[in-house]
Amino acid sequence: EAQVTQNPRYLITVTGKKLTVTCSQNMNHEYMSWYRQDPGLGLRQIYYSMNVEVTDKGDVPEGYKVSRKEKRNFPLILESPSPNQTSLYFCASSPPARDEQFFGPGTRLTVL
C-alpha cells in the first residue's frame, strides 16, 4: 500500500530533550515536506526537500532541523524542544510536480 508513515504518533516530552520524528514514504517520491498544524493558524510548512541531500526552509523553520540522506526518509529533529513547539506535525511527499502531496497520519507532540 502506497503510504507515508510517521513515528511516533504521539509524544510527550520535556523542554530541552532532543527528539526525532521519523517520516518514511514508499512511493519513490522526490519531494518531501514537514508541516505543523495549530488551531487558528492552519498548516504551516517547516522544511522541505526536493531530493536527496537537498533541503530548504519553509515558513517556520526556527527550532527544527531535517536531513535527507535517503530518498524514502525525511526525519524532523528538534534539538532543544520548547513548549511553543507543542503541535500536530505532518509529513508529506509528492512526485516531481510537487502539487499532489500525500500526507502521513500526523504526530501529536506535547512539550512540557
Partner 1 sequence: QKEVEQDPGPLSVPEGAIVSLNCTYSNSAFQYFMWYRQYSRKGPELLMYTYSSGNKEDGRFTAQVDKSSKYISLFIRDSQPSDSATYLCAMTSDSADGLTFGKGTHLIIQP
Contact between 98 and partner 1 per CB under 8 A: yes
d(CA 3, CA 5): 6
Bridge pairing between strands 102-103 and 87-94: antiparallel
Out of 1, 62, 69, 99, name the contact with partner 1 by CB under 8 A.
99
Minimum Å gap between C-beta 91 and partner 1 is 9
Dihedral angle, C-alpha 35, 12, 2, 39, nearest 10 °: -40
CB of 17 to partner 1, least distance (A): 25
8 A C-beta contact, residue 41 and residue 98? no
Q: Which of residues 24, 25, 33, 55 is near partner 1 by CB under 8 A?
A: 33
Site string for partner 1, 60-89 (x = CB under 8 A): ------------------------------
Using CB under 8 A, which of 7, 95, 102, 110 touches partner 1? 102
- Local structure of residue 10 (DSSP, 8 states): E
Residue in 20, 43, 70, 83 binding partner 1, rule: CB under 8 A? 43
Contacts of 108 (CB under 8 A, 6+ apart): 9, 10, 11, 88, 89
Sites of contact with partner 1 (CB under 8 A): 4, 33, 35, 40-45, 48, 50, 56, 58-59, 90, 92, 98-106
